[in-house]
Structure 1
């Protein structure tokens, strides 16, 4: 039989059978190795698999084949520094939930996520949550940040899971698609999902007053059915997002505004740092390329730790 992994606990997987929608608790037969990829989780939510139901365990099964992935979001493994962790696979889009207050999401984190998604051609929408906490100055700043990202091809919208602002717009974005909902711990993903799918009643937690960091409320990645044909993948909050398997020479190509300038620099191997005749640097100096985005590029290129 074939199906889609809708939940992963690391050792067991819940598979939704193709056609019937029946759920099966499955384990993995042997070890799966992805060519050229060292990962801590061989299977991820969203993977298409083939499995066999065991007669002695009603409803349980064994996964023995994985279909090639169309795309995936990947990050460095928290526990194994040399390994990567696949967040989710076979996505139509990703919604990155960000906050400008309690806790604030850094440009470094946003841009690392966008670069990772760009590498696998996954469209991203930025969801600016907790707008009910904004004063006039923060609301104006949010508008500037949203405009900066929209100019380079990443749409954004304002949202408050508590007041309902933007919830209908997000629901419309999800329709008929498999969408990943991701973000830092504490950005309000679970509260937002409860607003989108009230019947789920996901557990939420308050922000730590001491650290202003979120408390993990989602333990395992899970694909939730919003309605027939519309699915939302909820994942544990990401505290760090290290880039995986990305060569320095490729990095500028994953920034759309830099990609448009490639080939215009004096030197073909320009890294857009201090080289003379650099079209990217000229665009920054002229105010045509946003400085926060360029700073993120430099930080990633130099391997600085702005993952949080």
Structure 2
């Protein structure tokens, strides 16, 4: 694929789905729809969680941060992707590629940690209900969220500095629709043991460890749920925990497949569609999952829109 004469020598070419030009238009329409849903859904959750005082509890504080991560994550990828899908040029500047790479790592790692924090919050709510307000005090909640954000920032700085320093020997084609770590590492013309060790170590810290904590939390929650005799409380626990568990399954299932599997076990085209799922589809599903299964959020939205007053009059 050729780039225009205006492109600088440091520009990269995002190959994306150029090998399947017949499906590029379909993909672009789908991406635009999912991005719109992501913007509307996650912005709504942030506004509702902030404006409705009844939602000023840890669960929605964490949820609003998760929505903020999803908004930033998709916005760092999709606009450039749509420009490349709709236009003749498939290029991205070196600076733009570096920023995409950095934000993808930063926000992806932050989301992994936030999902683990939310699992601990659900554990405290279900298994320690009498001490919940003491355990999940505002100071602890703020510290856990800040740890998630700064933890993601630290991992991104390490991996970006290592990956972008790798010599590319003139290679400019990124075999993906955005600047993602596996595609950038494949561009390198030398093997780096240090980079491989760093990727594996941080993958364990930010993927496997949070997932293990989530599974432990839900194992304890399952034991507690089995002892609940109240049908109404049992359903409420399943609704709130079920939403989070669904999001965890969608996010971790695809991202672990991409980052923890041997790189030669699947085709690059298959990898692109998996990447498309966890970068585009999952962030749009998160607000739908939480709002459709959560009566508190739906009630708060009705109060904001004044629908509860109308229904009471009727």
Q: RCO (CA 8 Å, sep 6+): is it higher in 1 or 2?
A: 2
Q: Which has the larger radius of gyration?
A: 2
- Shorter-chain TM-score bucket reads under 0.3
Alignment TM-score, normalising by the size of structure 1 = 0.25
Higher strand proportion (structure 1 or 2): 1
